Structure 1
Amino acid sequence: MTAGTGPAGAAALRALHHGRQPDDPLVLPTVWDAAAARVFADAGFPALATPSAGIAASLGYADGETPADEMFAAIARIVRAVDVPVTADVEAGFGLSAKELVDRLAEAGAVGCNLEDSDHASGALRDPRRQAEWLAEVRAVAGDALVVNARVDTFLRGDTGTAAAVERARLYTEAGADCIYPILAPPALLPELSAAIALPLNAMARSDGPSPRELGALGAARITFGGGLQRQATATLALVAKRLRDGN
């Protein structure tokens, strides 16, 4: 067991979300394999996240199509490679029961997870009350040993207002989530969302958008990157391949 796993790892990760200054959000690099994890851990980041899209790409799958066994095996390799807490994107839970999901995360060594509230295949949003019940089951099984980041997919699925996102966030907060992730929420709406949501707010930094520090100033307490870092690394590797092909 590495230093970032188990209840102590969960407690350390949870503590990192609180008491932060607006210009100092928790930045969680999203790492897709053990080598990338070591790079960011060695750079001094106190915790890491995994992206479902980045891991899928590294394994040769489209986002949302990675078999559960391969996803958990990839998460476990990342956890073994570092001594900092790791939170894992496990999509909508792969159809596992709450106990099965919590057990698989614990077996892999992850001390946190993203759980999204829409379906990859259909694109449909889940009923928010049923999603809240599911989150409450996960919390009941995990106790304090798992940091639950409840993803709200209303903006991803085309709702441009804040009302639906805030209502889902309220239900997920009552269910025991630790933080709320309104993925793809426009940065201009972060102050309104932060004021209306009681839990730490997760925002995704994009290469064409505000910096992590700027997102923090807008109200985000936690910054992740989706599959963006893996795509940047792949783009850099493509340039290396081109130079080699051209004999440079």
Structure 2
Amino acid sequence: MPSAEIVAVRRRAFRQLHASGCFVIPNPWDIGSALYLQRLGFKALATTSSGAAWRHGMADGQMTVQEVLVHLCEMVDATGLPVNADFEGGFADDADGVARNVRLAVATGVAGLSIEDSTGDANAPLRELPVAVERMRAARAAIDASGGDTLLVGRAENFIVGRPDLDDTIRRLRAYSEAGADCLYAPGIKTREQIAAVVAAVAPKPVNLLVGFATELTLRDIEALGVRRVSVGGAMARSAWGGFMRSAQLIAGEGKFDGFASAASGAELNAMFAEVRS
């Protein structure tokens, strides 16, 4: 883990990114992808629960808190950039457990972390709002007890879990803001109207927008709607998996190697990693 001084510098820089304008916080899934994104000039990175899980041959949501903490340490150590942790629901059934696990996440040196309100239960996919708020307050208290400089992101999962109720989404985001979330996030909203409504509802706090799909919206469009940061979730990992799967399926099914046509150059990859590791 980086020194306490370096961690503090990264966290200050991360908070400053949220103060104005709009920035992209892409989601690497391993050290190599993190180093490449740093090389492209991105100012911060975010982990992806799905990408990390697929890397280990698991479904999203199957990693244990211990496995996630190891992954966070790995990602924080990989680059000189601030890292925001996709900390799912806090990996605990109750608020005390969320607080305990958030303290462990903060200790890895992450500059931010998100807590979501989904349950993983298809029949009741969202936590009752009072329960979700209690968990957010517990996360806030745990961060404050650890120094208070780690940014807390409150996530309303309505649109992701098949409950696309914008009014309830906004109700939840406002409650999470009041409970101490520094940044608000409603993954799954897509239209200009939805995005603008969320931004207006939680202003002046910053909003994170997930763009994990092809969209006509450009970064300039998104910034004009008032969004402060844009993440891509598991989309980059899915893109990498897509290329791998197409190549493998062509070989297995047709005996063809056409899938390698768009492969990256091995020489380029070796040169890049030799440079960043020197």
Q: Partner of 2:178 in structure 1?
A: 174
TM superposition shift of 1:52? 0.4
Larger radius of gyration: 2
Q: Partner of 1:120 in structure 2?
A: 120
TM-score normalised per structure 2:
0.80
Q: Partner of 1:207 in structure 2?
A: 213
* Unpaired stretches in structure 2, ≥5 consecutive residues: 259-278
Spell out the pairing of 1:1-248 with structure 2 (5 A cutoff).
Answer: 1-2=1-2, 6-20=7-21, 25-95=22-92, 97-122=97-122, 124-143=125-144, 144-188=148-192, 189-198=194-203, 199-209=205-215, 210-241=217-248, 246=256
Separation of aligned partners in 1, 2:128 and 2:249: 47
TM-score normalised per structure 1:
0.89
TM superposition shift of 1:161? 3.7
TM superposition shift of 1:43? 1.2
TM superposition shift of 1:241? 4.5
Separation of aligned partners in 1, 2:55 and 2:167: 36
TM superposition shift of 1:243? 7.5
Moved more, 224-233 or 126-135: 126-135
| Partner SS, residue 8 of structure 1 | helix
Looking at both structures, which has the greater relative contact order when contacts are Cα pairs under 8 Å and sequence separation is at least 6?
1
Separation of aligned partners in 2, 1:201 and 1:78: 23
Q: How many residues align?
A: 244
Query: Which is richer in helix?
Result: 2
Residues 205 and 65 (structure 1 numbering): CA distance in 2 closer, same or farther, change over 3 Å? same
| Partner SS, residue 97 of structure 1 | helix
TM superposition shift of 1:240? 4.9
TM superposition shift of 1:129? 2.1
Residues 231 and 196 (structure 1 numbering): CA distance in 2 closer, same or farther, change over 3 Å? same
Residues 62 and 16 (structure 1 numbering): CA distance in 2 closer, same or farther, change over 3 Å? same
Moved more, 60-69 or 113-122: 113-122
Separation of aligned partners in 1, 2:131 and 2:184: 17
TM superposition shift of 1:33? 0.6
Q: In the alignment, residue 228 of structure 2 is paired with which amino acid?
A: A
Preserved contact between residue 27 and residue 224 of structure 1 (Cα < 8 Å) = yes
CA RMSD of aligned residues (A): 2.2
Q: In the alignment, residue 199 of structure 2 is paired with which amino acid?
A: S
Q: Among the aligned pairs, what percent are the same residue? A: 30
| Partner SS, residue 202 of structure 1 | strand
